[in-house]
Amino acid sequence: MKDRNLSRRRFLSSAAKGAVAAPFIPLVNIASAQDLPQVSESDPTAVALQYKHDATQTAAPTERTCANCLLYQGDADAEWGPCQLFPGKAVAAAGWCTAWAAQP
């Protein structure tokens, strides 16, 4: 009986901690996406992909920017957002690189 009460207490404690933490998880993710450091144009991956913050300074067709790239994960109205090729960093919505891919 003593073991059963201990298990029950542990379960209730874990459930309570999860219930308290769960509402904050989405907020943490949103905040971290907005606070990502901006990728540098001199970043080795950026150099390899010829990434520029301003697509008009590249040979890219004018309609191609990070904002309409398949790999861009930023909000539609954000100036910067995550890109799958630059984990932990943000690219400019107005930027471009040679890995640009059309959205379906």
Q: Quote the longest CA-to-CA distance of the chain.
A: 74
Asked if 100 interacts with ligand SF4 (CB under 6 A), we say yes
Name which position in 99, 102, 103, 104 contacts ligand SF4 (CB under 6 A). 99
Rounded to an integer, what distance in angstroms lies between the CA atom of residue 41 and that of residue 90? Answer: 11
SS3 71: coil
Confirm or reject binding of residue 51 to ligand SF4 (CB under 6 A).
Answer: yes
Q: Does 36 bind ligand SF4 (CB under 6 A)?
A: no
Q: What's the CA gap between 59 and 71, in Å, rounded?
A: 19
With binding defined as CB under 6 A, does residue 95 bind ligand SF4? Answer: yes
Binding site for ligand SF4 (CB under 6 A): 51, 66, 69, 71-72, 83, 85, 91, 95-97, 99-100
